[in-house]
Amino acid sequence: MSALTNLERLYLNQNRMTTIKSSIFTGLTKLTDLDLSGNTITTIEENAFSDLTKLKILALYGNRITTFTNTTISGLISQPVLTLHDNPYHCDCKLIGMLDYIKTGFVSVPERIRCFTPEKLKGIKLVSLSSANLTCSEMTTIPITTTETEGETTEFIKTTYETNSSPLKVKNFLVMIQISLYLLVNTMI
């Protein structure tokens, strides 16, 4: 697209696009309006919009976007007005940057942006949530390899820990791992 350096408006709506590749809009420095609505976009790669320094309107509504990361938002240098509604957002810690952007006032119809998952937040307006409501959890099982006299075996710690993205909870998670490892090693001696 770099041959289209004077292009100001680009309408790619209703084209069944699924991914916006990194730096796909390189060279479109005069682009002010970009309409990507009504596609089936699920992924927006990092720096996809980084060259669009004059962008005023970015329409992403009516896609299949579940998350809108901080790296996607940080690439929007000109702070365009975004239309982001009608996407099945997974409301977790990855949407905190989007929530902050919504609060800047540069989002069209923010009250129409709703959580699709997790179940406890389904249907809730994103703008009505705080960053404390947007948590990330993952389940982790730690494998422990031990050597016995008759051969090598692999054991797994039976406990599965749930972690949250907050630094304090991650630190507590790491302490629990250290304690589990200590107990496991000392019971084997």
Domains along the chain? Answer: 9-133 (3.80.10.10), 137-188 (no CATH)
Question: What's the chain's average pLDDT?
Answer: 80
Q: Are 31 and 55 in contact (CB under 8 A)?
A: yes
Taken as a whole, the chain contains a residue count of 189
Q: Are 114 and 125 in contact (CB under 8 A)?
A: yes
Q: Which of 35-44, 47-56, 104-113, 172-181 has the lowest mean pLDDT?
A: 172-181
Helix (H, G, I), strand (E, B) or coil at 129: coil
Q: What is residue 5's predicted lDDT score, i.e. its pLDDT?
A: 86
* Closest to 65 in 3D by CA, of 90, 82, 48: 90
Count helices and strands (H / E) in the chain: 3, 13
Identify the sign of the CA torsion 138, 128, 65, 94.
negative
169 against 32, higher pLDDT: 32
Q: Are 138 and 130 in contact (CB under 8 A)?
A: no
CA 13 – CA 144 distance, rounded (Å): 51
CA 76 – CA 144 distance, rounded (Å): 44
7, amino acid identity: L
Q: What is residue 76's predicted lDDT score, i.e. its pLDDT?
A: 79
Q: Are 133 and 89 in contact (CB under 8 A)?
A: no
